[in-house]
Amino acid sequence: MSDEKKGTNPLATGVAGAMIGAAAAAAAMFLSDEKNRKKAEKALGDLQKQGDKVLKEISKRAMEIKDAVSRKTQDKKESKKITKKSKGK
């Protein structure tokens, strides 16, 4: 068969699993110390605050863009109405 099935490489899957397992074990050892847990909690809290600020800014910009597009669309509709009325006279 020249058309081989393209699936997941078992070796790559095994290596990825070993890496994930090693990372989980390292994290468990790191978090077993109370000082490290407190540091991790603080870091995660800081990241969450930064993420909230970024989300607010993105939402604000998205609303500004939405409003600008709505205004342009409304202006075009009004312009077409005026053009149709002037042609009808």
pLDDT at 2: 44
pTM, 2 dp: 0.47
Name residue, tokens 């005026």: 82
Averaged in consecutive runs of 10 residues, what is the pLDDT profile of the chain (89 residues)? 63 91 90 88 92 94 93 79 64
What type of residue is 77? K
In the three-class reduction of DSSP (H, G, I as helix; E, B as strand; rest coil), residue 81 is classed as helix
